[in-house]
């Protein structure tokens, strides 16, 4: 029985990582094609990047749909429908012949992808206890980081061997694999809500009025700004402005993703030694320092962006698992809606950062650095103040096995 449970948990861990990786798979694999589509369709970056911004806006809206549905009907049915939509939309993207159709199909693709990452987080709440869940989130972060690390490299080579359209065909194949995995997964929600779906949507109003949950959700999402600005602006910076090839761009982007994976892995190793409070303090400090180095431009390009952004990404990976767990710890029920709203806030801020970096800045590298300074500095200041207050001490995370104060 123990062996069966171990095998089940290992398979569930990899499935959760795959579901959580849907956003980076859907975006990072496609990034090397953006400069090509600009030239092929004779469109400015602000228009072509709507395929990214539109994806994340649609993604965020549908996160709020899947949360109540999953609390009412279980995790599996919404996942199967959503991943099916994602798979179909990926194939439609492959047949797009202009930027407008690609934007539309990307929006549809996001409507399906939203089910995956939102409900993966809810499943961790269903299956794992608080201390174990933080470790699982960190392990998922390590595995998931392989997606943004490998996706742009794969995308660059696919453009050499085949064409940009095959990038979306591969995404559709990944969706089909995930659909099969969810189909074979037993339902994890043991006590579905007996409230109607429309009434369940009212849970969001309760969460919006939950000051502690909303406060921590907004705070912990601020650190996403430099990360998403880098995602949307990196192809333009490395390929168009610095003249690197799509393949070399993929390697530089993979370095950034590797740093996130290293940060998540470090989180799994350092949680007991430093505690969640220490990890989050280090993470926010690293984002601030990395932003400062990027902004002052003291290292020659392209390493002037690549190296300090590696520090920002490592710090992001280090602080994200305990940050997410801290937010979820503020609620005792309706985990589906709570996790959906958390990711909604997270990616809406990310979409805003993507739109911001798409504007015609004279120096986009310094813009990314400024976002790192603002988000890292603000988050570090707020966090240190919280740690000095009695409220902060009551809600601060603690290492696995340690008692609350």
Asked if 370 and 243 count as a contact pair (C-beta separation under 8 A), the reply is no
Residue 402 has pLDDT above 50, yes or no: no
Q: Residues 50-74, buried b or exposed e (16+ Cβ, 10 A)?
A: bbbbbbbbbbbebbbbbbbbbbbbb
pLDDT digits (tens, 9 = 90+) for 271-315: 777 777 788 888 899 999 999 999 998 888 889 999 999 999 999
Contact 70, 193 (CB under 8 A): no
* pLDDT score, position 215: 81
- Residue 308 has a pLDDT of 94
Q: Is residue 192 part of a domain?
A: no
Q: Is 39 helix (H, G, I), strand (E, B) or coil?
A: helix
Q: Is residue 191 part of a domain?
A: no
> With 50 as the cut, is the pLDDT of residue 3 above it?
no
Does the residue 400 lie in any domain?
A: no
| pLDDT tens profile 19-41 | 877 878 888 888 888 888 888 88
Please write the tens of the pLDDT for every residue from 75-106: 788 889 899 999 999 999 999 989 999 999 99
pLDDT at position 309 is 93
In a domain, 404, yes or no: no
List C-alpha distances in Å: 310 to 29, 177, 227, 303.
Answer: 19, 31, 10, 10
Higher pLDDT, 35 or 336: 35
Q: What is the CA radius of gyration of the chain?
A: 20
Number of domains making up the chain: 1
The pLDDT tens digits of the residues spanning 112-164 come to: 988 887 677 777 766 666 566 666 666 676 666 677 777 788 888 888 888 88
Task: Count CB neighbours of 47 within 10 A.
Answer: 16
Q: Report yes or no on 403 lying in a domain.
A: no
Question: Average pLDDT for residues 331-348, to the nearest whole number?
Answer: 75
User: What mean pLDDT is predicted for residues 66-70?
Assistant: 74
Contact 271, 138 (CB under 8 A): yes
- pLDDT tens-digit readout, 159-176: 888 888 999 999 999 899
Asked if the structure places residue 401 within a domain, the reply is no
Give tens-digit pLDDT for 226-252.
988 998 888 888 888 888 888 888 888
pLDDT at 1: 35
Say how many C-beta atoms besides its own lie within 10 A of residue 242's C-beta: 15
* Residue 404's pLDDT band (cuts 50, 70, 90): very low
Between these two residues, 325 and 349, which has the higher pLDDT value? 349
Boundaries of domain holding 210 = 2-185+197-395
CATH code, domain carrying 293: 1.20.1250.20
pLDDT per residue as tens digits for the range 187-202: 666 666 665 556 656 7
Q: Tokens at residue 39, please?
A: 């030239």
Identify the top-confidence range among 90-94, 261-265, 391-395: 90-94
On whether the CB atoms of residues 143 and 14 are closer than 8 A, the answer is yes
What's the pLDDT at 143? 64
Cβ(389)–Cβ(261) below 8 Å = no
* Residue-level pLDDT at 141: 65
Q: Which of 261, 48, 29 is nearest to 139 (CA)?
A: 261
Q: Return the higher-pLDDT residue of 69 and 35.
A: 35
**Tens-digit pLDDT profile for residues 40-50:** 888 888 888 89
Mean pLDDT for the chain overall: 80
Separation of alpha carbons 29 and 168, rounded Å: 9
């Amino acid at each position: 029985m123990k062996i069966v449970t171990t095998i089940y948990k290992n398979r569930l861990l990899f499935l959760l990582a795959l579901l959580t990786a849907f956003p980076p798979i859907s975006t990072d694999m496609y990034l090397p094609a953006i400069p090509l589509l600009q030239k092929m369709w004779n469109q400015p970056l602000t228009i072509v990047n709507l395929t990214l911004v539109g994806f994340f806006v649609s993604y965020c809206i549908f996160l709020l749909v899947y949360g109540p549905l999953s609390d009412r009907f279980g995790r599996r049915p919404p996942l199967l429908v959503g991943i099916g939509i994602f798979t179909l939309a990926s194939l439609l993207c492959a047949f797009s012949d202009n930027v407008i159709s690609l934007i539309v199909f990307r929006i549809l693709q996001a409507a399906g992808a939203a089910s995956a990452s939102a409900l993966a987080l809810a499943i961790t709440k269903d299956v794992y206890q608080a201390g174990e869940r933080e470790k699982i989130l960190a392990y998922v972060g390590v595995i998931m980081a392989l997606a943004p690390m490998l996706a742009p490299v794969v995308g660059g080579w696919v453009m050499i061997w085949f064409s940009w359209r095959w990038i979306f065909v591969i995404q559709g194949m990944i969706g089909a694999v995930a659909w099969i995995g969810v189909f074979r997964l037993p339902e994890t929600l043991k006590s579905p809500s007996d409230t109607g779906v429309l009434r369940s949507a009212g849970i969001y109003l309760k969460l919006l009025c939950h000051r502690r949950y909303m406060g921590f959700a907004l705070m912990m999402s601020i650190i996403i700004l430099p990360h998403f600005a880098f995602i949307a602006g990196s192809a333009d910076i490395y390929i168009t402005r610095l003249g690197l090839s799509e393949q070399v761009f993929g390697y530089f982007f993979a370095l950034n993703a590797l740093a996130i994976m290293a940060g998540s892995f470090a989180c799994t190793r350092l949680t007991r030694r430093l505690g969640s409070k220490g990890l989050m303090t280090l993470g926010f400090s690293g984002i601030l320092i990395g932003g400062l180095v990027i902004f002052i431009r003291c290292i020659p390009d392209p390493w002037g962006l690549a190296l300090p952004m590696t520090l920002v990404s490592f710090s992001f990976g280090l602080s994200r698992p305990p940050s997410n767990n801290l937010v979820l710890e503020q609620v005792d029920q309706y985990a589906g809606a709570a996790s959906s709203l958390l990711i909604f806030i997270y990616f809406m801020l990310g979409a805003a950062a993507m739109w911001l970096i798409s504007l015609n800045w004279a120096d986009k590298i310094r813009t990314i650095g400024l976002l790192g300074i603002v988000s890292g500095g603000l988050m570090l200041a707020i966090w240190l103040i919280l740690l000095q207050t009695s409220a902060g001490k009551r809600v601060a995370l603690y290492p696995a096995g340690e008692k609350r104060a």
